[in-house]
């Protein structure tokens, strides 16, 4: 017997299949979008009263200002952390690396803020050696159980500072990416490019250290290390 409506019957069979196919394609399309929406794991928040080690050179020790206006002292006031100023004027990355084990053992910090390398650049030491030292500093600090935040340092020279054309040395972003640690960028390069925030060509004044600490707080919050 001949079907009087073959076209209608064919359409009725095709439509459910087409709807199933489209639904399947839509589900597949959503998979990469969901993956792109995932956020990288955040750091653990460092609680109020915790010990934080600020490792560095004269920019950490506070040359150009008083001890209570150096950036670690300002950071302590802004966060409620006990911030140990482990900055030594003139220190290179190799010297900071040598000092690190005793500092970790003595203070057992929850967080180590690493800002070193400026004297390496001023003395024209090998960038690859400086990079290797900074990697070791960050790695040893993490091995002690501390979290680490790396501070980018400009490729310092007296000429660059005097012309206000400072920019972060590329090795800091490389190290932060390699080790998957947060990076505070453009902090010192911004401060030292502004004559109003400097005590001399390569050091901040009290206002400069205050500005640096305020910017660092924002990076700490963005990284999840400091509660908002």
When mean pLDDT is compared across 4-18, 49-63, 107-121, 130-144, the lowest value belongs to 4-18
Q: Does 98 map to a domain?
A: yes
Q: Tens of pLDDT along 80-130?
A: 999 999 999 999 999 999 999 999 999 999 999 999 999 999 999 999 999
Q: Domain limits at 105? A: 51-223
pLDDT of 4 above 90: no
Is 169 a known active-site residue? no
CB burial of residue 186 (10 Å; 0-12, 13-18, 19+): middle
Q: Does 21 map to a domain?
A: no
- State the CB neighbour count (10 A cutoff) for residue 21: 10
Q: Does 42 map to a domain?
A: no
Q: Does 12 map to a domain?
A: no
Selecting among 58, 61, 93, 189, the annotated active-site residue is: 58
Q: How far is CA 204 from CA 214, 218, 220, in A?
A: 14, 19, 21
Selecting among 126, 193, 200, 222, the annotated active-site residue is: 200
Q: Determine the pLDDT at residue 201.
A: 87
User: What value does the mean pLDDT of the chain take?
Assistant: 85
Q: Determine the pLDDT at residue 158.
A: 56
Is 184 a known active-site residue? no
Q: Tens of pLDDT along 51-71?
A: 999 999 999 999 999 999 999
Euclidean distance between the first and the last CA atom of the chain, given in angstroms as a whole number: 78
CATH number at residue 186: 3.40.50.1110
Quick check: 56 and 96 in contact, CB under 8 A? yes
Selecting among 91, 128, 203, 222, the annotated active-site residue is: 203
Q: Does 116 map to a domain?
A: yes
For the chain, give the percent of residues with pLDDT over 70. Answer: 78
Q: Does 24 map to a domain?
A: no
Is 58 a known active-site residue? yes
When mean pLDDT is compared across 14-18, 78-82, 109-113, 150-154, the lowest value belongs to 14-18
What's this model's pTM, rounded to 2 decimal places? 0.80
How many distinct structural domains can be found in the chain? 1
């Amino acid at each position: 017997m001949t079907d009087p409506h073959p076209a209608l019957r064919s359409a009725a069979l095709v439509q459910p299949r087409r709807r199933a196919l489209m639904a399947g394609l839509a589900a597949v399309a959503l998979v990469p979008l969901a993956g792109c929406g995932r956020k990288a794991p955040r750091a653990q928040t460092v609680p109020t009263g915790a010990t934080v080690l600020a490792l560095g050179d004269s920019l950490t020790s506070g040359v150009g200002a008083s001890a209570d206006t150096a950036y670690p002292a300002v950071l302590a006031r802004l966060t409620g952390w006990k911030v140990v100023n482990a900055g030594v004027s003139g220190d290179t990355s190799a010297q900071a690396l040598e000092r690190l084990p005793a500092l970790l053992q003595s203070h057992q910090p929850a967080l180590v803020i690493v800002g070193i390398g400026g004297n390496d650049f001023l003395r024209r030491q090998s960038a690859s050696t400086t990079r290797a030292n900074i990697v070791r500093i960050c790695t040893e600090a993490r091995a002690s159980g501390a979290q680490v935040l790396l501070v980018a340092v400009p490729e310092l020279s007296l000429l660059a500072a005097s012309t206000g054309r400072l920019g972060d040395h590329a090795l800091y972003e490389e190290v932060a990416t390699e080790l998957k640690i947060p990076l505070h960028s453009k902090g010192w390069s911004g401060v030292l490019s502004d004559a109003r925030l400097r005590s001399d060509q390569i050091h901040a004044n009290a206002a400069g250290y205050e500005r640096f600490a305020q910017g660092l707080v924002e990076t700490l919050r963005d990284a999840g290390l400091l509660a908002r």
